[in-house]
Amino acid sequence: MIETEQLTKKYGDLVAIQNLSFKVEEGRIWGLLGPNAAGKTTTMRILTGYLPATSGRASVAGFDVFEQAEAVKQSIGYLPETVPLYPEMTVESYLGFVAEIKKVPAARKKAAVDRAVQIAGLQSVRKRLIRNISRGYKQRTGIAQALIHNPRVVILDEPTIGLDPAQIKEIRDLIKSLKGEHTVMLSTHILAEVKEVCDGVVIINEGKLMASGSLEELARSFSQNDGVYLKLDRADGEVLNLFRQLPGLKEAALEGAEIRLEWPWGQDLRTQVLKFCLDRKLEIKEMRSLAMNIEELYLRIVSGGMEQ
């Protein structure tokens, strides 16, 4: 649905992004992840046709971003980093204006505005001036604006920046509800957001692609085995030897107060481990997944780079 090939953008001598190639499948929510000034906004601006690329190709919804700009713009809903609002308009008249410039037929305009108001939860403020509504509602209005013409692709640049925790949760739920019907690409540097909302990520740093794929794929490419960390009422060689009898287990090791158990990807021995402990009257204090969490993944990718 979104595809780029060797995409490069230079501002004079400054290279903003370099040879970016990635792919986002239809109906998925994909995160564009990277530290500040990594080139996230530039990438999104190129995809939406706001900026031309210096070289390379990009296509959205099957249309070439450079050759078929108008068709691309018609299929994209875009929330830029600065929410593009006209403070002197009401929420409703603003959405009406966006519907007009997004070429929603006049007969369907009212229905489109109603639908966007509904999805973004703006019913209580629809008649109010944008200058008078809260930051959270402004952000929602920005998202409503991006969805007004029911686009196939939605691109959101830092959709939760500057919101309070409750608002962040609301916006994330809103984004999750778009899954399936829309292909969503959102940029962020908040890792929890990726973990909660996204199916996969494109990680860039200093304009270069560091990794891309689904979260599981990335986790797999970093460690050979799946497994758990186990915290029991006791941890010693005796317990370890007990675990080594468990069928399917590849490795059992002591790590501080915890026991690390590993098995090959694709198997899930967690139930067996639980049962095993219960049978032997081992008291479980804590069990957590061995798979690298997104924070570790991100730090390793951004600092070290990775063969992909």
Partner 1 sequence: MSAIWSITKKELVSYFTSPIAYIVIAIFILLSGFFFYSLVWWFNTQAMQMAQNPYYFQQVNINQMVFAPLFHNLSIILLLMLPVVSMRLFSEEKKMGTEELLFTSPVSVIQIILGKYLASLVVLLAMLVLSAIPTIFTFIHGNPEPAPYLLGYLGLFLLGAAFLALGLFWSALTENQIVSAVLTFGTLLLFWVLSWAAYSARGLWQDVLNYLSFFEHFDGMTKGILDTSDLVYYLSFAFFGLFLTHSVIQFRRWR
In whole angstroms, how close is the CB of 50 to partner 1 at the nearest point? 5
C-alpha dihedral, 276 to 281 to 283 to 284, nearest 10°: 10
The answer to whether 61 contacts partner 1 (rule: CB under 8 A) is: no
The answer to whether 26 contacts partner 1 (rule: CB under 8 A) is: no
H-type alpha helices, the chain = 40-47, 69-75, 91-101, 106-120, 135-147, 165-176, 191-197, 215-222, 237-243, 270-279, 294-304
Q: Which two tokens stand for residue 70?
A: 């108008």
Say which amino acid occupies 115: R
Residue selected from 3, 27, 66, 80 as contacting partner 1 according to rule CB under 8 A: 80
Residue selected from 7, 17, 76, 156 as contacting partner 1 according to rule CB under 8 A: 76
The answer to whether 67 contacts partner 1 (rule: CB under 8 A) is: no
Order of strands, sheet of 29-33, starting from the edge strand that comes earlier in the sequence: 76-79, 153-157, 183-188, 29-33, 200-205, 208-214
Q: Which is nearer to partner 1, 49 or 200 (CB)?
A: 49
The answer to whether 73 contacts partner 1 (rule: CB under 8 A) is: yes
Q: What is the DSSP string of 112-168?
A: HHHHHHHHHT-GGGTTSBGGGS-HHHHHHHHHHHHHTT--SEEEEESTTTT--HHHH
The answer to whether 31 contacts partner 1 (rule: CB under 8 A) is: no
All residues at 6 or more sequence positions from 277 whose CB lies less than 8 Å from its CB, including other chains: 230, 232, 283, 284
The answer to whether 82 contacts partner 1 (rule: CB under 8 A) is: yes
Q: How far is CA 66 from the centre of its chain?
A: 25
The answer to whether 43 contacts partner 1 (rule: CB under 8 A) is: no
The answer to whether 70 contacts partner 1 (rule: CB under 8 A) is: yes
The answer to whether 290 contacts partner 1 (rule: CB under 8 A) is: no
Question: Each residue of 214-237: b (16+ CB within 10 Å) or e?
Answer: ebeebbbbeeebbbbbbbbeebee
Residue selected from 52, 248, 264, 305 as contacting partner 1 according to rule CB under 8 A: 52
Per-residue interface string for the shown chain with partner 1, residues 206-235, x marking contact by CB under 8 A: ------------------------------
Q: Which is nearer to partner 1, 8 or 293 (CB)?
A: 8
Q: Which two tokens stand for residue 203?
A: 């990680």
Report the alpha-carbon distance of residue 116 to residue 287 in Å, rounded: 43
Find the part of the chain contacting partner 1 (CB under 8 A) among 81-89, 182-190, 216-224, 295-303. Answer: 81-89
The answer to whether 40 contacts partner 1 (rule: CB under 8 A) is: no
Q: How far is CA 80 from the centre of its chain?
A: 16
The answer to whether 103 contacts partner 1 (rule: CB under 8 A) is: yes
In whole angstroms, how close is the CB of 83 to partner 1 at the nearest point? 7
Residue selected from 25, 88, 233, 295 as contacting partner 1 according to rule CB under 8 A: 88
The answer to whether 64 contacts partner 1 (rule: CB under 8 A) is: no
The answer to whether 74 contacts partner 1 (rule: CB under 8 A) is: yes
The answer to whether 100 contacts partner 1 (rule: CB under 8 A) is: yes
Find the part of the chain contacting partner 1 (CB under 8 A) among 16-24, 101-109, 192-200, 221-229. Answer: 101-109
Number of H helices, E strands in the chain: 11, 14
Binding site for partner 1 (CB under 8 A): 45, 48-52, 70, 73-74, 76, 78, 80-89, 93, 97-98, 100-103, 106, 145
